[in-house]
Amino acid sequence: MKNIFLSLFAFLLLIPFAGFSQERDFDSRMQFTAGNFYVPQGTGEKLFSPFIRNTGISFSNKISPSVSLHLGYFRWFSQTSFVGQFSKLGNGYSELSSLEEAKVGDVHYRYDYQFMDASVTYSMVDFRDQEVYLGLGASYAFGKDVLLKGKFRLDPGYEDWLVSYEDKNVSYLGGMMQLGYNYFFFKGRMNAGVSGTVRYYPSLPVQYYTNLNIGYNFSLLKKK
């Protein structure tokens, strides 16, 4: 999977040298995205490791030459699994660094998170075959948290614990901000680019996303 992702990245780097003529005159876009997310507050979190941790799809429609309405669905995805009894999770991160300091009810893991976004995107730079845009909007997140239900130290002085956990379905309403770049080719019918997104929800750590995107542009309504 990582080799495929690196090949896509190399393809994006070559696009600007392809010399496609641009005739963009479309009002809608379907776009696929895949990339990484990073939560500084997470235990053992590393930037770009694993390389692919989220994927999604979005639809946007222009309401003016520079402004678009944007709807998106995204979810965490990873090939890395937690060890031990948490090997079944595989697509989240840990927030618990020490059982010694942990309290009953603390969040140990967050996983299976999904996101639905509604935002307004403004094209700050839109010249021929290139675009730089800024997006701002609301986001609804839902997933599962693993809470520490109980703990008992088996042997004082050693890190041997008997612990129990419980899963809890959670949801949060927050906001997102995105900065991105697109290059258009095949006469504007396709676009490819990169984006960075910050997500904030009350009671959740701030999340940072870096993604590669590829989209298909079309006209939803026939032009008069």
Q: What is the pLDDT of residue 101?
A: 74
Q: What is the pLDDT of residue 179?
A: 98
Percentage helix, strand, coil for the chain under 3-state DSSP, each rounded to 5: 10, 55, 35
For residues 90 and 53, give the distance between their C-alpha atoms in angstroms, rounded to a whole number.
Answer: 10
Of 190, 209, 138, 199, the residue nearest 31 (C-alpha): 190
| pLDDT tens digits for range 17-36 | 444 444 567 899 999 999 98
pLDDT tens, position by position, for the chain (224 residues)? 445 445 554 544 444 444 444 456 789 999 999 998 889 888 777 776 677 889 999 999 999 989 999 999 999 975 444 444 444 444 788 887 777 677 887 888 898 899 999 999 999 988 878 999 999 999 999 999 988 887 777 776 666 767 788 889 999 999 999 999 999 999 899 999 999 999 999 989 999 999 999 999 999 876 55
Q: What is the pLDDT of residue 122?
A: 96
Measuring CA to CA, how many Å separate 166 from each of 45, 105, 148?
A: 23, 9, 7
Q: Is 84 exposed, middle or buried (0-12, 13-18, 19+ CB in 10 A)?
A: exposed
Tokens encoding 155:
């042997």
Q: Name the residue ranges covered by the structural domains of the chain.
A: 2-96+107-142+166-218
- Give the fold, CATH level 3, of 2-96+107-142+166-218: Porin (2.40.160)
The residues that bridge with 29 in the sheet, in sequence order, are 60, 217
Whole-prediction pTM: 0.80
Report which secondary-structure segment, H or E, holds 51: none
List the alpha helices (DSSP H) in 176-217.
Answer: none
Q: What is the pLDDT of residue 51?
A: 74
